[in-house]
Structure 1
Amino acid sequence: MAVEGGAKCVKYLVFFFNFIFWICGLALIVLGVIAQVTLHNTAVLKGSSAAAMVLIVVGVIIFFIAFFGCCGALKENHCMVTTFAVFLSLIIIIEIGGAIGAYVYRGKLNDLVSEEFERMIKEYNTTESARKAIDEIQSEFMCCGANSSDDWLNFKTSHNSVPDSCCKNVTQNCGIGEIHNDKIIYTKGCQPVIVDHLKKSVLWVGVGALVIAFVQITGIVLACILMRAIRSGYEVM
């Protein structure tokens, strides 16, 4: 027995909201990719990409869950609508957890960047990956060292030189003997710039996840109303 009246309106609202969910799934995938690219390009935190991958996976799952909602609403299938509501509830819990995790992670960024930068500075002269990462960061963010150019005091035995990537105009050996020369090199540290850049990215990811979760809660409410209407139709039959 097909639903009628207000329930029929809810049926089409559920279908409409599933289109929104489909968009939400795409949005989460995009947010995850942006976060992943940001972390990948910020070499000092290349290993910290779990949150970004969670967003991508959740986005893909939502993309497919929308199928249950659309089909369940159009066919008025109680089982499919129920499956849709249950899975979407689980996704919301994961998204809220992800948003909380992003907030906690945001508060630890300063310590994480500091530890990783200190390690790479120590390994600069011995490890190619550390040297490449530091050079990319200093060139991209126009900075030198973690807190200042003084972090490179042990770069050379003379204690007055910095890597060439600290130079405003990079040429071979341009940083030799120029550790405090702000006309030749960037003397400000990279850590504050990187932390600020990452905090903004993490904040937008967290806000995006919460906004999408709010939209999904509306969909769950509508799905529950439709489930009740479908069940009532069965009982009448």
Structure 2
Amino acid sequence: MAGVSRCMKYSMFIFNFFFWVCGCIILGFSIWIRVSSTQQGVESSALAGVNLLIAVGAIIMILGFLGCCGAAKESRCMLMLFFIALLLILILQITGGILGAVYKPQVEEAFKLTLNASVSALQSTSEEYREYQEAFQKFEREEKCCGLVDGPKDWGAKFNEPSSNICKCEVEKPSPDLCIQYQNRYIYKKPCGEVIVQQIKDNLVIIMGIAFGLAVVEILGLVFSMSLYCQIGRK
């Protein structure tokens, strides 16, 4: 009877070790996005995709560990569980990509509604939103932007308070590209909504690159695990 190829066995082990590392990277990166988005005041409803990515990263870590154990112990049961779980994840990734492309207009509309709701929070005088308003002003200073959609108008009466430094252009020499003069003071020109949208697009490009690379890795994992499974069966 044919034995198990040591090359295939060790390749499967090494592959799954790197697969586990990929899970760690995805989990860490998605947690970083989640924490930074929360600090910027993005509503939790807009972070569903990031939460899903956190779950995916954790699952990949578990699968990597399962594949390593299956290869090391030559366990057909573990290898089959690894194969089935990996196949399901690949199918879900493809389905998610298709649904994302189909429902892109609805997602954009939902994001616009989120921005409008956030504008109401900026204008509110309730103590409930004070912490959010302070966090958003910090975001404005860091990203050199003002308001969400319509610049200083998003702040309503708060912008006109005598002690208000909202949107103040804190640079020595204000340039027309960065600052504009509004009501006898210089403020940042760009709405923060544009900054947030650009950040989301940049993050999506990274996520798409990770997802594509992960799909290639998953296909290799399916080939390795099934090949080793068959070899152990012929042993």
Report the TM-score when normalising by structure 2. Answer: 0.77
Are residues 2 and 29 of structure 1, via their aligned partners in 2, closer, same or farther at CA, if it must alter by over 3 Å? farther
**In 2, are the aligned partners of 1:149 and 1:188 still within 8 Å (CA)?**
yes
- Written as runs of structure 1 = structure 2, the 5 A alignment for 1:149-228 is 149-152=151-154, 154-155=156-157, 163-169=164-170, 180-181=182-183, 184-228=186-230
1:38 to 33, 36, 39: 36
**In 2, are the aligned partners of 1:152 and 1:162 still within 8 Å (CA)?**
no
* Distance (whole Å) between structure 2 residues aligned to residue 70 and residue 131 of structure 1: 48
Are residues 100 and 80 of structure 1, via their aligned partners in 2, closer, same or farther at CA, if it must alter by over 3 Å? same
Are residues 155 and 105 of structure 1, via their aligned partners in 2, closer, same or farther at CA, if it must alter by over 3 Å? farther
1:219 Cα deviation after fit: 1.0
Q: Specify the SS of the correspondent of 1:185.
A: strand
Q: Specify the SS of the correspondent of 2:190.
A: coil
* Distance (whole Å) between structure 1 residues aligned to residue 45 and residue 114 of structure 2: 12
Q: What's the CA shift string for 1:178-236, capped at 9, x where partnerless? A: 97158522233221112111211122123212311221210111111111222222xxx
Q: What's the CA shift string for 1:137-169, capped at 9, x where partnerless? A: 32222122223435248426x979895221124
Q: Specify the SS of the correspondent of 2:186.
A: coil
Are residues 76 and 204 of structure 1, via their aligned partners in 2, closer, same or farther at CA, if it must alter by over 3 Å? same
- Written as runs of structure 1 = structure 2, the 5 A alignment for 1:1-237 is 3-4=3-4, 7-97=5-95, 108=108, 111-112=112-113, 114-123=115-124, 125-126=125-126, 127-152=129-154, 154-155=156-157, 163-169=164-170, 180-181=182-183, 184-233=186-235
Q: Which amino acid aligns with 2:219?
A: I
Q: Which amino acid aligns with 1:120?
A: A
* Distance (whole Å) between structure 2 residues aligned to residue 77 and residue 44 of structure 1: 46
Q: Specify the SS of the correspondent of 1:43.
A: coil
Are residues 165 and 185 of structure 1, via their aligned partners in 2, closer, same or farther at CA, if it must alter by over 3 Å? same
**In 1, are the aligned partners of 2:119 and 2:154 still within 8 Å (CA)?**
no
Any gaps of 5 or more consecutive residues in structure 1? 171-177
Q: Which amino acid aligns with 1:165?
A: I
Report the TM-score when normalising by structure 1. Answer: 0.77
* Distance (whole Å) between structure 1 residues aligned to residue 85 and residue 69 of structure 2: 15
Q: Percent identity?
A: 29
Measured on the aligned residues, the alpha-carbon RMSD in Å equals 3.3
**In 2, are the aligned partners of 1:152 and 1:161 still within 8 Å (CA)?**
no
Are residues 68 and 32 of structure 1, via their aligned partners in 2, closer, same or farther at CA, if it must alter by over 3 Å? same
> What is residue 175 of structure 1 aligned with on the other side?
none
**In 1, are the aligned partners of 2:152 and 2:167 still within 8 Å (CA)?**
no
Q: Which amino acid aligns with 1:55?
A: L
Structure (1 or 2) with the larger CA radius of gyration: 1
1:36 Cα deviation after fit: 0.8
1:27 Cα deviation after fit: 1.4
Any gaps of 5 or more consecutive residues in structure 2? 172-179
